[in-house]
Structure 1
Amino acid sequence: MTASTASRPAAPRTLSADEVQSLRRRPAGFGRWFADTGWRHLVGVLAGIFCVFPLLYVLSSSLNPSGTLLSANGLFTVVDFGNYVDLLFNRPQQPYIAWFANTLLIGLISAAGTVFLGALAAYAFSRMRFTGRRIGLLTLLLVQMFPQLLAVVAIFLLLNAIGDIFPVLGLDSQIGLILVYLGGALGVNTYLMYGFFNTVPASIDEAAKIDGAGHARIFFTIILRLVAPILAVVGLLSFVATTSEFVIASVVLADPTKQTLAVGLYRFVSEETSRNWGLFAAGAVMAAVPVMALFLYLQKYIISGLTAGAVK
Structure 2
Amino acid sequence: MSATANAGSQPGTIQGTTAGARHASSGSGSDGVGGGSGSPRRRRGPLAWLREAGWRHVIGIAFSLYALLPIAYIVSVSLKPHGTLTGSNELFTDFSLESYARVLTDPAHPFGQWFLNSLLVGLCTAAGTVFLGALAAYSFSRMRFRGRRTGLLSLILLQMFPQLLAVVAVFLLVTKLGEIVPWLGVNSPAALIAVYLGGALGVNTYLMYGFFNTVPMSIDEAAKLDGAGHARIFFTIILRLVAPILAVVGLLSFIATMNDFVISSVILVDPQKQTLAVGLYNMVSNPNYADWSAFAAGAVMAALPVVIIFVALQRYIVGGLTAGSVK
TM-score of the pair, normalised by structure 1: 0.91
96, 103, 107: which is aligned to 1:80? 96
Moved more, 221-230 or 28-37: 28-37
Offset, 1:69? 2.2
AA aligned to 1:59 is V
Match in the other structure for 1:71: 87
Amino acid at match of 2:260: E
Among residues 112, 122, 134, which one is paired with 2:149 in the alignment? 134
Partner of 1:185: 200
The match for 1:270 among 263, 270, 285 is 285
Question: What is the deviation of 1:42?
Answer: 1.4
**1 CA distance for matches of 2:39 and 2:267?**
69
- Compute the displacement of 1:242 (Å): 0.4
Runs of 5+ consecutive residues of structure 2 not aligned to the other structure: 1-20, 29-34
Q: Which residue of 2 aligns with 1:5?
A: none
Corresponding residue pairs, total = 298
Judge conservation of contact 2:109–2:283 (CA < 8 Å) in 1: no
- 1:157-179 alpha-carbon deviations (Å, 9 max, x no partner): 00000111111110000011001
CA–CA separation in structure 2 for the residues paired with 1:198 and 1:23: 57
SS at match of 2:102: helix
Q: Which has more radius of gyration?
A: 2
Give the CA deviation at 1:101: 0.7
State the secondary structure of the residue aligned to 1:310: coil
Question: Does 2:301 correspond to 1:286?
Answer: yes
Aligned pair 1:170/2:188, yes or no?
Answer: no
After superposition, the C-alpha distances for 1:72-108 in whole angstroms (9 at most, x for unaligned) are: 111111111101001112x112110010011111100
**C-alpha distance in structure 1 between counterparts of 2:211 and 2:36, whole Å:** 45
Amino acid at match of 2:98: G
Q: CA 1:129–1:76 in structure 2 vs 1: closer, same or farther (change >3 Å)?
A: same
Q: CA RMSD in A?
A: 2.0
**TM, length-normalised to structure 2:** 0.87
1:1-312 matches, within 5 Å, as: 27-89=43-105, 91-312=106-327
- SS of residue in 2 equivalent to 1:67: coil
- Supply the distance in 1 between the matched residues of 2:325 and 2:41 (Cα, whole angstroms): 40
Structure-2 separation of matches of 1:206 and 1:143? 33
The verdict on how the C-alpha distance between 1:23 and 1:275 changes in structure 2, with shifts beyond 3 A counting, is farther
